[in-house]
Amino acid sequence: MPDGRRAKKMRNVEEYLRPDVIQEVARLDLKAKFIVEGFISGLHDSPYHGFSSEFSEHRKYAAGDEPRLIDWKVFARTDKYYIKRFEAETNLDCHILLDASESMAYSHGGVITKLEYGIYMAAALGYIMTRQQDNVGLVTFDDEVTNVVPARSKRSHLVAILGVLAGALRHRPSRLADCLHRAAELLRKRGVVILFSDLIPAEGEDQDQVLDGLRHVRYRGHDLICFQLLDHAELTFPFEGPAQFVDVESLQAIRADPEAVADAYRQEVRQFVERYRDACRSDRIDFVAVDTSDSFDHVLLSFLRARQRKF
């Protein structure tokens, strides 16, 4: 991997929710109810409401609710209408998995790193989910799982998630496959899992092992969405003249003539990405290849629209 600057100092938490992105999401929500009807309902097969015997909580009666669900005992005590909410009606559980290993700190020319890109997308999704009162949690990892934030739906919970995101980078190597298996065991309740990673296997791992980790998450019953984040330079190899390339995790260096290896490198990267794409399609995992030179809000909104069409 080409040598580049290490990640710039992490930006303030507030910057992870850019006002222009929030406004765009809000416009979609107001104009077409796109997020509720497309993204949120499409992510996960909704259970039939009211068929569970496990009572969960009360909520205020709203227009459109079935009168048969009104709790008349509560009405007798409070003179207000409340309906019973059952476990089958609980909101969507979404967990964001963020690869915060050293390779994610790479950027060519000091532009946004892959990790920062993932943080911005994670923050935007966290905002969307909490706005819709769905439960959102976070798992960060490098060579081990470093943080587990349980899924909650309160808007104040987003502050806790952003705080963890802001301190995610520890400049540690990756153990991607092992961490995916660990995450699969941690996330017991069926829901949506959204992964942000470059999917580069750790030293001693290979692509097959990473795919096994992805399958483990999927086969636990989760709807898995995988965003593979790669820097534009990693995809296009724009280097010229004799150069030294340094692995950002092992720090192993090698000198090479970029023009002599460029074609072989690009073909290898294409095959690397396509193998993930094909395997994910086969295992019913949503896979999105992302060039971090593309605007992250454009990538996110394009994906949400695609999910809406799919469902």
- Asked if residue 7 is part of any domain, the answer here is no
Closest CA to 88 of 231, 162, 190: 190
pLDDT at 171: 87
Most confident of the ranges 135-144, 157-166, 302-311: 135-144
Q: What is the DSSP letter of 221?
A: T
pLDDT at 110: 74
Domain containing residue 192: 13-30+92-310
| 0.85 surpassed by pTM | no
Question: Which residues, in sequence order, are CB contacts of 42 under 8 Å at separation 6+?
Answer: 307, 308, 310, 311
Taking 60 as the threshold, does the pLDDT of residue 167 lie above it? yes
Q: What value does the mean pLDDT of the chain take?
A: 79
Q: How far apart are CA 211 and CA 214, in angstroms?
A: 5
120 in the same domain as 80: no
- Asked if residue 5 is part of any domain, the answer here is no
Q: How far apart are CA 151 and CA 186, in angstroms?
A: 12
Structure token pair of residue 264: 């072989």
77 in the same domain as 97: no
Q: Mean pLDDT throughout 274-285? A: 96
- Asked if residue 298 is part of any domain, the answer here is yes
Min mean pLDDT across 73-82, 87-96, 100-109, 246-255 is at 87-96
CA distances from 205 to 159, 200, 211, 212, 249 (A): 35, 9, 11, 11, 13
Q: How far apart are CA 34 and CA 29, in angstroms?
A: 5
Rg of the chain, C-alpha, whole Å: 22
Helix (H) or strand (E) holding 309: helix 296-310
224 in the same domain as 284: yes
204 in the same domain as 134: yes
185 in the same domain as 216: yes
State the pLDDT confidence band at 15, using cuts at 50, 70 and 90. Answer: low
190 in the same domain as 76: no
